[in-house]
Amino acid sequence: MRPFLWEQHCCLPLSPAARISDLARYPAGSYLSVNVGYSRQSTADSLALLHRFRRDAQEDRRFRLVRGVEDIGGDTIALAFDLEDSGPLGADLDNVEQFYELGVRSLLPTYNHANAAGCGCLDADDTGLTPYGRDLVRKLDEVGMFADGSHCSRRTGLELSELSAAPMIYSHSNFAALWDHPRNITDEQARACAATGGVIGINGVGIFLGHNAVDERAERVEAMAAHIEYGAALVGIEHIGVGSDYSFDAEDFNDELRQNPDAFSAMYTAWGPLQWVPPEDLLGATEVPGLNAALAGRGFSAADRAAVFGGNFARIAGQVWRA
């Protein structure tokens, strides 16, 4: 029996071309957090996407929109949403509440580069959170939305853990100790996140795993397993989950890398088009042995795997999300 899957971050195209139906590649019963904006989206842009995605999900009986953890499970795919930058708030913290009411359950202050809230992982000068960013963390706690350190600078991530009164997360971040990339987090960040009670979601992006060649699909799965194993040894199995960052907009995203390399730096563009671990390879529905099997092969028990694939994020959602 395969475990329940909590996917803490995946991406549809941020455009009218997006098809909610593509998300049905995940197994029935899964929980998915779907991105609705990063630094390039305005408040109006992200709200329009949210309304579109919500409408399409309501019309497709395979999906259910999430308000609380009680909406997750059964025969439908549970959908909530996330923001990969604070830019879509339009510098108005009251918008956190508006986005929460529309199903956004996690938000990260910065996407790669500095903004009004703090610094990003690609910034050479890391000054951490700004006063506005600190107010944002307090607002997230008040509203009941996960504060997310992925894509943030190392100091920004550490300050998130210091300020958050609730468990924080790294929705889709791997470990720099295994693959030295600025998007991956340090052991210090991981320990600080775990100290809040939080969870780190391991992603399946080739350039953050060290295996980005087209023919390295199986190697990417094994690398995800290695990051999960490392994290479990470092901070405890109860603080590790999955946020694969799978991009249904892969072609659009790779086009963006080619057309605007300065927005991402050579740390994104040096390895060619990005490759991902697809949904089917998480629990093993294809010819490639999936992540579930890879973890079993490394000695993870059924209970361990259930915690990683869903139980850990579900536990802290019950603590953080407002009823």
Q: pLDDT band at 3, cuts 50/70/90?
A: confident
pLDDT (tens digit per residue) in 164-189: 999 999 999 999 999 999 999 999 99
Answer whether residue 217 shows pLDDT above 90.
Answer: yes
Alpha-carbon gap, residue 27 to 29, rounded angstroms:
6
The answer to whether position 192 is within a domain reads no
Residue 122 lies in a domain: no
* Residue 100 lies inside a defined structural domain of this protein: yes
Residue 243 lies in a domain: yes
Tokens at residue 256, please? 């963006």
Which own/partner pairs from 205-208 qualify as long-range (CB within 8 Å, at least 24 positions apart)? 205/172, 205/245, 205/274, 205/275, 205/276, 205/277, 206/271, 206/274, 206/275, 206/276, 207/181, 207/183, 207/267, 207/268, 207/271, 207/274, 208/173, 208/174, 208/179, 208/181, 208/183, 208/184
**3-class DSSP state for residue 247?**
strand
Give the pLDDT confidence score for residue 1 in this predicted structure.
59
Query: How much of the chain, in percent, has pLDDT values that exceed 70?
Result: 98
Q: Does residue 79 lie within any of the structural domains?
A: yes
How many domains would you assign to the chain? 1
Q: What is the pLDDT of residues 69-79, one digit of tens each?
A: 999 999 999 99
Domain with 64, as residue range(s), is 6-109+174-185+200-312
CA 260 to CA 43: how far, in whole Å?
A: 22
**Residue 318, in any domain of the structure:** no
pLDDT for 287 beyond 80: no
**pLDDT, position 261:** 74
Buried b vs exposed e over 106-135: b needs ≥16 C-beta within 10 Å?
bbbbbbbbbbebbbbbbbeebebbbebbbe
- Is 277 within the bounds of a domain? yes
Which pLDDT belongs to residue 277? 97
Query: Whole-model pTM?
Result: 0.96
In the chain, the percentage of residues whose pLDDT exceeds 90 is 89
Give 294-321 pLDDT, tens digit per residue.
999 999 999 999 999 999 999 999 999 9
Q: Which residue has the higher pLDDT, 270 or 107?
A: 107
Residue 305 in domain: yes
- Residue 323 pLDDT class (50, 70, 90 cuts): confident
DSSP reduced 3-state for 276: strand
Residue-wise pLDDT for 36-90, tens only, equals 999 999 999 999 999 999 999 999 999 999 999 999 999 999 999 999 999 999 9
| CATH number, domain with residue 51 | 3.20.20.140
Query: Mean per-residue pLDDT for 206-216?
Result: 97
CB-CB contact of 113 with 89 (8 Å): no
